[in-house]
Amino acid sequence: MRASTGRRNQVLGSNQYGQLGYGDKNHRGDKPGDMGDNLPFVDLGGTAQAVAVGSGHTCAVLAAGLVKCWGYNNDGRIGYGDQENRGDNTGEMRVTLNTVDLGTGKAATALSLGALHSCAMLNDGSRKCWGENGQGQLGYEDTDN
């Protein structure tokens, strides 16, 4: 993902699960004329402070430490308590895309995404992780997704 000026971000590449955040499954950057002024902006409904990408999913930290994730959601890797993909259909981004519930008074300061899971560093120095956990990669001493 390449950040642009202001509140807008441009992304390119594979988009099989909506991980580019354009509300469709169209790939970007694989045809002449896809880039430059023709590459649309991703509207998250706020200013992205940081962005991280995994395998088929993307997350951003917005102002005030809010986190929004979209794309492939197998095993809950985008953190909404279900397995529904987000960002692959019209109307799923912008202000309609919910923020990830990090807990009362918790705000993200950084994100790191693996192939199948996501983690956030929080404002109190703790971290929270979600998604696939078959090898214990979430750090909770179990293998529950």
Residue 8: per-residue pLDDT: 43
Give domain status of residue 141, yes or no.
no
Give domain status of residue 112, yes or no.
yes
Top pLDDT among 13 and 121 is at: 121
What is this structure's pTM?
0.85
Residue 13: per-residue pLDDT: 59
Residue 129: per-residue pLDDT: 96
Mean pLDDT over the full length of the chain: 87
Cβ–Cβ contacts within 10 Å for residue 121, how many? 16
User: Count of domains in the chain?
Assistant: 1
**Running DSSP on this structure, what letter comes out for residue 40?**
P
What residue numbers bound the domain in which 115 lies? 2-131
Cβ–Cβ contacts within 10 Å for residue 64, how many? 12
Give domain status of residue 41, yes or no.
yes
How far apart, in whole angstroms, are the C-alpha atoms of residue 80 and residue 142? Answer: 20
How far apart, in whole angstroms, are the C-alpha atoms of residue 44 and residue 123? Answer: 22
Give domain status of residue 137, yes or no.
no
How far apart, in whole angstroms, are the C-alpha atoms of residue 115 and residue 113? Answer: 7
pLDDT band at 40 (very low <50, low <70, confident <90, very high): confident
Judge whether 73 and 83 are in contact, CB under 8 Å.
yes
pLDDT band at 50 (very low <50, low <70, confident <90, very high): very high
Q: Give the helix/strand (H/E) hosting 113.
A: strand 108-113
For 95, counting Cβ atoms within 10 Å of its Cβ (0-12 exposed, 13-18 middle, 19+ buried), the class is exposed
pLDDT at residue 112 is higher than 90? yes
Please give the structure tokens belonging to residue 7: 């509140």
Give domain status of residue 143, yes or no.
no
Number of residues assigned to the chain: 145
Give domain status of residue 52, yes or no.
yes
User: Cβ neighbours of residue 145 under 8 Å, at least 6 residues apart?
Assistant: 75, 76, 131, 132, 133, 134
